[in-house]
Amino acid sequence: MENLIEIKNVYKTYYMGEVPTHALNGVSLNIKKGEIVVILGASGGGKTTLLNCISGLDNVTSGDIFYDGENISKYSDRKITKFRKDNLGFIFQTYNLLEHLNVYENVLVGEKLSKSKIDINKIIDTVGLRKHVKKYMHELSGGEQQRVSIARALAKNPKVMFCDEPTGALDEKTGKIVLQSLVSANEKLGTTMIIVTHNPGIALIGDRIIKMNSGKVVEEIINKKRIKPKDIPWG
């Protein structure tokens, strides 16, 4: 697989007075098209900061981030906003769904943001929501709502999906169902996935595991055989 994203010597620095704190401390990393990359580490290790910088939600202090050879770290605010809209999808712990719309309509909101049309019904089937398609958000469990948010993000047909602790608010059974939705999207749609988690069990669903501590990549593990979400140890 060829590289989709190249991260080169990236720093994100904050100052307390004149004292610098490096939330990211010289991170270099490549991400290939179509793989699942899991960024693993304890709270404060820099994993969410890295996700925010790779996705253009936050600016780097120094260093470069390339997508298909284009240096997005040099983009203007307007250009990076358009880049995110056209190319990236996001999943967070909070679902940010529209309560007055049903499942299908919420997913359709994502499709309206896409440059290229995608089959909404295929997306709904991929995340296992066919029987809930006409339900409203108050009729769904937390895990079902999270799968709606995944479907909405996938409906944009993003090149990359960024997932920040996507199961953080869910119990084990529900969390594994949500993870299976992400794996299914990767397998059926070819979506590149970048998942941030503190749970080492979740890391086993990835093709590569990037361990972070104190703003640095401390270990990179190639996972030769991905484990199915239903079989991972939890917690």
Instruction: Write down the pLDDT at residue 39.
Output: 97
How far out from the chain centre does Cα 172 lie? Answer: 19
Q: What is the CATH number of the domain that holds 87?
A: 3.40.50.300
To which H or E segment does residue 219 belong? Answer: strand 216-222
What order of strands is seen across the sheet that includes strand 192-197? 88-91, 160-164, 192-197, 36-40, 208-213, 216-222
Q: Give domain status of residue 193, yes or no.
A: yes
Q: Give domain status of residue 112, yes or no.
A: yes
Report the chain's mean pLDDT, rounded to a whole number: 92
What's the average model confidence in pLDDT over 80-101? 91
What's the average model confidence in pLDDT over 77-89? 93
How many domains are contained in the chain?
A: 1
Instruction: Write down the pLDDT at residue 94.
Output: 83
Q: Which two tokens stand for residue 2?
A: 């060829």
Q: Give domain status of residue 2, yes or no.
A: no
To which residue do tokens 């793989």 refer? 35
Q: Give domain status of residue 89, yes or no.
A: yes
Confidence of residue 169 (pLDDT cuts 50, 70, 90): confident
Q: Give domain status of residue 140, yes or no.
A: yes
pLDDT digits (tens, 9 = 90+) for 2-26: 899 999 999 999 988 888 899 999 9
Instruction: Write down the pLDDT at residue 22.
Output: 93
Rounded distance between C-alpha atoms, residue 72 and residue 192, angstroms: 18
Instruction: Write down the pLDDT at residue 211.
Output: 97
Instruction: Write down the pLDDT at residue 34.
Output: 95
Is residue 115's pLDDT more than 80?
no
Is residue 96's pLDDT more than 90?
no
Percent of the chain past pLDDT 70, that is, above it, reads: 99
Query: Could you list the residue range(s) of the whole structural domain that residue 199 is in?
Result: 33-61+76-231
Confidence of residue 131 (pLDDT cuts 50, 70, 90): very high
Instruction: Write down the pLDDT at residue 43.
Output: 87
Is residue 30's pLDDT more than 80?
yes
Q: Give domain status of residue 15, yes or no.
A: no
Q: Give domain status of residue 200, yes or no.
A: yes
pTM: 0.91
Q: Give domain status of residue 204, yes or no.
A: yes
